[in-house]
Structure formats: C-alpha cells, structure tokens
A and B are shown apart, each in its own frame.
Chain A
Amino acid sequence: MTTRDTFSGQNTGDSGVPSTIVTVPFDRYEIVLELGPHREFLAIVEVRISRDFRSVQQKVESTDYHDVSDLYKEYKE
C-alpha cells in the first residue's frame, strides 16, 4: 500500500524512518504494529490481551457515546 497521510513527515535533522503505530484488534488480543511511510509492515511491537472483555451482545447493547460530532463541523484554520 502506498497511499498514506503525507503530513506527518520528519522534522529537520531526523534521520530515522518515519513510522506509524497501529493497534489491530484480533479476537481476544490486540496486535500493535509498526507501519512504514507507505503503510508497509515493519514490525510487531506488542501483542497484548484486549481489556475489553464484553461479548458482542454486550457491546451492541452499550449505546452510550461521546457526543463530539459538532466540534468537528465548523473548524477553520
């Protein structure tokens, strides 16, 4: 994959490869991956047990949410 968010580039003087950390839920686990600038796989950073122990049914029944949509509508630089 080569498309990406190109804004988060390096600072002047940085010499390391810019990367992104992504957490992927997988069954009862969360896999933390390091992706390169083109979203290519670089490494598995961490494998941890998900702390969300609810069943799918319990998750769907949890209907509360963070009401923040309006905050993202009118933003201007």
Chain B
Amino acid sequence: MFYESEPQPVLRFGDVVRGYVLSAPQIDSPGASPPVRYRVEVHSPTFAVIMSPCCSIGEHTLAISPLIEVLPQFFRNPYFANDLTNINRRMSAENAVWPGQWAEFSSEEKQERMSRGDVYALVEYFIYAPHDFLLPYPVKGQEGRETGYYMIDFRRICRIECNKIVKPDQAPLETKVLQISIETRREFREKLASYFGRTPEEDKL
C-alpha cells in the first residue's frame, strides 16, 4: 500500500503535511551585490511533503516541497495512466513514452534507448497516490477526466524554519496528514538520490 494505515506520532521523510508557507525569491538582476531588484512571494499550499531525511528533521529546520497537480500529459501514456505511481519506479524505454511516440523513433534510436535497460524516466517527479484526504481534481484540457493523483517536483524544494521543530518526535505533529509506507519511502529515497546522483554528460569519462 502507498500510505501507512497507522501513521506514527513523529515527522518523517515523505510525510504529507499542511499549514506551512513556502517562498521562492525571484531576482531580476543576479550578480549585483546587494541585488537591486528582487521579489519574495510567499504562498501556502494546501499540502506539502517533507523532503528532509528522517534523521535530519530537527534543529528548527525542515525541507519541504509543495504537493501539486500532475501534468495532464502523463495520461497520454497508458502505462502511466493505469497507475501514475509507475513514474516512481524504473521502467523500460518503451514504457517511458506513449505507443505513438515509440513508433516514431527510428530503429537505431529504439536500440539506443533500450540499451539503457530499466532506469528512471521523469526524474524530477514523485507521484503520490489518491487518498480520501487528497481531493480529486479535473485534469486540465481533458474533459470528463478526474484524478486524485498528486506529485512533488524535486526542483521546488524549500527550506522553512520553525522553533517548534526540535526533533522528529518534538515537532508540530498536528500538521501531519499522511505517512507513506516503508516501501513507498524506499522508492522515494532511491529516486531522490538518483535525481541528485546523475552524472552530467560532460563529466562522464
């Protein structure tokens, strides 16, 4: 199962939480010291996900990322549409695209893609399965389709500071909404590690 049926009374990596604010500074002219034009917009997502590893939750600091709607384009791929959490796992090259797109690839490109074996696709995203607490929403541009899947985008991780966060079990536990299962957390940890662990093409020997 994707979620733990009996969440623990501690904050954990991957927990869905609510009641936090996020901000992302926008700088028009980076490089100037101090920056001459910048904006700080603050927003409060309905839900966010704890991105700090369990052992690193504390000292008044927490890394979180907003829980956002999935990309409508995901549903174009039947392998994803059947269960969007398939995006969280390694997959074959053929499953990473929809059949029409696969058919457009040349034989050489198919061979090159298949030679990678089962690896991650859509490396920036981790999908959260539907749950009663997560309201379904209409999929943009696809009339009649509704989904309860949500996702996080690893590029949108923010840091917050809160004096109430001392240790995982000394924290505002009333903000905790859902806890993912051990297996889901393992998948989450492995995909996040892989996201940061990619070697740039120019660094490959």
Residue positions of A touching B, CB distance < 8 A: 1-8, 20-22, 24-26, 39, 52, 56, 59-66, 68-69, 71-73, 75-77
Contact = CB atoms under 8 A, between A and B. Distances in A.
Interface in B76-100: 76, 81-85, 89-91, 93, 96-97
Interface in B138-159: 139, 141-142, 144-149
B132 A1 contact: yes
Mostly, the B contact residues are loop
A76 B101 contact: no
Contacts of A52: 90, 118
Interface of B: 1, 71-76, 81-85, 89-91, 93, 96-97, 101, 113, 116-124, 129-132, 134-136, 139, 141-142, 144-149, 183, 187, 190, 193-194, 197-199
A72 B122 contact: yes
Contacts of B190: 56, 59-60
B198 A63 contact: yes
Contacts of A21: 82-83
